[in-house]
Structure 1
């Protein structure tokens, strides 16, 4: 636990504008990331890549994403979240457009890594903004709204990309979403403000001291628990379309519909879970452990389905379990690390979390190639949240109210 006092945050109406802009930026990076799932088979056929080889593209993205999460958190605390959100999203959109032009496997993997490098910064910047503008007692709801971006990105990509591919080819989806990402980035650069107005802007900027984070046992456990949780979530996002097409004999449009339903349920469930945790005194750990246990069960059940109707019945429950742990775990970060290092702590923990996203595409492709078993692919996914649940039990949760406050008003 950080010894830095928790600032008292004055609730200003502009916080809703900040939350909306942070959410919009995070939604676009989630759309950019999720585009690969429904587009992967078409890209693989165009470039002559095997099913197992498709995992290399997703891994390329997540390698860049992990690196930028670690660096992006420090940049957020150093340069401020407005600059980080706007510039990183603009460049991520540019690499999306470049990927839509590729005809080479090596170049395509490099462009995917480029998207990941710049898409990984806005998460920590968003967490920092919410930590600055929302008091601890209301962060569960704000984090829940913010984290709807990841599931909504999955919904948008799976609802739009299959139709775009059918009408105009796979390149169109990367061109369209890349351009929209760049437009949202410009809006964020113009309208976003950090906490404190001119007071914060005039303060000297310096590289944050990260030593308290390195000594924080609970942050280490939270980072490792998130590794397992995101192993399951992004392993599903990356591979579920291809597995249902190849292993479940669904059409691309049917598989996209299943994953869209998977994402839709989480859009409503995340803010609800955040509100529930706020109402029960800001406790996050125990609900997160329960959700991860449900995630393990629903992944195993999904792996036993063999028809469109079976997938459709399980998808809503799987969508809730695969996503609602995230606002709970993320709301723990500023409570364990303090607001002043919230960006660095968010980036560092998410770098650990995203290592699961980096490794799982290749591992899952190898498992399915070796076993040709739909169930064993999903059992491999379920191992991640099981590990995360066990590790999360070791985190010592602290109430925000246990801190000694140091008043830091937020100016309009």
Structure 2
């Protein structure tokens, strides 16, 4: 295709790779903002749309159902027609539906539009992984994926810092309309400046290679457990702190900002550290998942705003630092020719945790009225993810020979 830059084996030293990384990061940041807006907006939106506390989880679940489907389709499509078009189209249409959600008048319409936002937004993750893996060599990929996946943390920070204040001045609808317009403008910039990159004879190998990849499935299950805890916290912590302990909504949003800020800072640091150490990414990811589960259990036993703020920083490190490590491992397993499909399949499996956890935690809290029980339910996810990750054969995967095309990053 005419959009592809034929790439000589320069080991990813082209200066353009930093432009690609910046745009992929910005795109994922905006879809993460779009995804995270529901958390701080949910109580006000639910009250206006006539939705019960437990029913608020249905909106997040609807989003993640669409998100899972578009991860699968977007990854496959990006490997075949190019990730530039897929990423830009994903961001533009998601922004359009964000604007539409700001005008819904009923719960049913809102749930449907949330599903459409997710269906459009999910493709940008796989497309971004494909672009970053194609432009950065293996020895730089931990740092690159750390910077790229900072976006999910920053999206949570931005949403929780801005949405409560927009609600105070305007209403919850203003945040959806603002973020939707920004997303659409950024999509046009990505379409103009991004470039796909592949070798002169590279063709995506058969997908059956991924179907047979046991370690890829295990990475997906590890991500499932991790995201169960991460996005369960992002979706429910505001409402649980406000309703369970009477925390002011702006203060509760600040807690989640601290949670996400810790992850944002830590992601590139742990990515760079594993690049420099050269000893693999499995064991650091295992340690992070186990520590995250412990932090969630402790968080569930707290009662004061100051204690929540302190523990949020530690929980945020656990909630986000495993992500760049798992994503970098995916690219190593698949090679760059199938990086989009592999990342989409892995993230679709992982995001099933995000689909299930809002409804499950809502049901647990409604049945028990227990803040601690809700967070114990969240903690079960990263513990299960650590068990799945322990079976990944990282050494075997890294020793597996790669094709000349996939090595030509």
User: How high is the TM-score relative to the length of structure 1?
Assistant: 0.94
2:111 corresponding residue in structure 1: 109
2:55 corresponding residue in structure 1: 53
Instruction: Summarize deviations over 1:335-363 as a string: whole Å, max 9, x none.
Output: 11111111000000100000000000000
2:380 corresponding residue in structure 1: 383
Return the offset for 1:209: 2.3
Instruction: Summarize deviations over 1:69-121 as a string: whole Å, max 9, x none.
Output: 11111011011110001011000000000000001111100100010001100
Is structure 2 residue 266 aligned with structure 1 residue 269? yes
1:4 corresponding residue in structure 2: none
Return the offset for 1:10: 3.5
1:17 corresponding residue in structure 2: 19
Return the offset for 1:402: 5.6
Whole-Å separation in 1 of the counterparts to 2:336 and 2:194: 18
Is structure 2 residue 216 aligned with structure 1 residue 226? no
1:406 corresponding residue in structure 2: 404
Is structure 2 residue 275 aligned with structure 1 residue 278? yes
Is structure 2 residue 69 aligned with structure 1 residue 67? yes
- Residue 247 of structure 1: SS of its match in structure 2? helix
Maintained 8 Å contact 1:128/1:339:
yes
1:216 corresponding residue in structure 2: 213
Whole-Å separation in 1 of the counterparts to 2:184 and 2:67: 18
Is structure 2 residue 326 aligned with structure 1 residue 329? yes
Maintained 8 Å contact 1:27/1:149:
yes
Whole-Å separation in 2 of the counterparts to 1:222 and 1:161: 33
Is structure 2 residue 182 aligned with structure 1 residue 144? no
Given the superposition, is the C-alpha separation of residues 380 and 138 from structure 1 closer, same or farther in structure 2, using an over 3 Å criterion? Answer: same
The equivalent position to 1:181 in structure 2, one of 180, 183, 204, is 183
The equivalent position to 2:121 in structure 1, one of 100, 119, 122, is 119
- Residue 250 of structure 1: SS of its match in structure 2? coil
Whole-Å separation in 1 of the counterparts to 2:237 and 2:273: 30
Instruction: Summarize deviations over 1:304-329 as a string: whole Å, max 9, x none.
Output: 00010110110100111100000001
2:341 corresponding residue in structure 1: 344
2:233 corresponding residue in structure 1: 236
Deviates more, 1:402-411 or 1:288-297: 402-411
Instruction: Summarize deviations over 1:159-194 as a string: whole Å, max 9, x none.
Output: 000000110100000000000000000000000001
Instruction: Summarize deviations over 1:9-60 as a string: whole Å, max 9, x none.
Output: 3411110000000000000000000000000000011011100000110000
Is structure 2 residue 321 aligned with structure 1 residue 319? no
Whole-Å separation in 1 of the counterparts to 2:69 and 2:196: 24
Maintained 8 Å contact 2:337/2:405:
no
2:160 corresponding residue in structure 1: 158
The equivalent position to 1:354 in structure 2, one of 351, 354, 374, is 351
Maintained 8 Å contact 2:91/2:120:
yes
Maintained 8 Å contact 1:9/1:408:
no
- Residue 52 of structure 1: SS of its match in structure 2? coil
Whole-Å separation in 1 of the counterparts to 2:240 and 2:133: 39
User: How high is the TM-score relative to the length of structure 2?
Assistant: 0.95
Maintained 8 Å contact 1:65/1:119:
yes
Is structure 2 residue 290 aligned with structure 1 residue 255? no
Maintained 8 Å contact 2:336/2:407:
no
1:392 corresponding residue in structure 2: 389
Whole-Å separation in 1 of the counterparts to 2:44 and 2:406: 52
Whole-Å separation in 2 of the counterparts to 1:396 and 1:383: 23
Given the superposition, is the C-alpha separation of residues 282 and 173 from structure 1 closer, same or farther in structure 2, using an over 3 Å criterion? Answer: farther
2:294 corresponding residue in structure 1: 297
Whole-Å separation in 1 of the counterparts to 2:405 and 2:67: 35
Maintained 8 Å contact 2:32/2:155:
yes
Return the offset for 1:334: 1.2
Maintained 8 Å contact 2:144/2:268:
yes
2:6 corresponding residue in structure 1: none
Maintained 8 Å contact 1:84/1:121:
yes
Q: How many correspondences in the alignment?
A: 400
The equivalent position to 1:373 in structure 2, one of 345, 353, 370, is 370
Maintained 8 Å contact 1:137/1:400:
no
Maintained 8 Å contact 1:140/1:282:
no
1:3 corresponding residue in structure 2: none
Runs of 5+ unmatched residues, structure 2 = 1-8
